[in-house]
Amino acid sequence: MKVAIVRTVITREKLMAGEFTPDKEEIIKYEEVDEEEYFKPLVQYLYPKIKKLIEGEKGNVDRV
């Protein structure tokens, strides 16, 4: 899978106002990466949270 390494600049004023749209984006380079290696940290972080959310919803349905 080909990914882009991007440098993003957001002004401090925008961050303090809670706005996260970039002022400037610059593609540094492109890299070929293994999909498993790329997505594994994201899955390890999100899976337990999503699983807990789904189990919580199932619990709420059973109580009704």
Q: What pTM did the predictor assign? A: 0.53
CA distance 19 to 39: 27
Q: Which secondary-structure segment (H or E) carries 14?
A: helix 12-16
Q: For the segment 5-42, what is each residue's pLDDT rounded down to a tens digit?
A: 999 999 999 999 999 999 999 999 999 999 999 999 99
The answer to whether the beta carbons of residues 29 and 42 sit under 8 Å apart is: no
| Tokens coding 16 | 């303090």
Got the DSSP string for 30-57? EEE--HHHHHHHHHHHHHHHHHHHHHHH
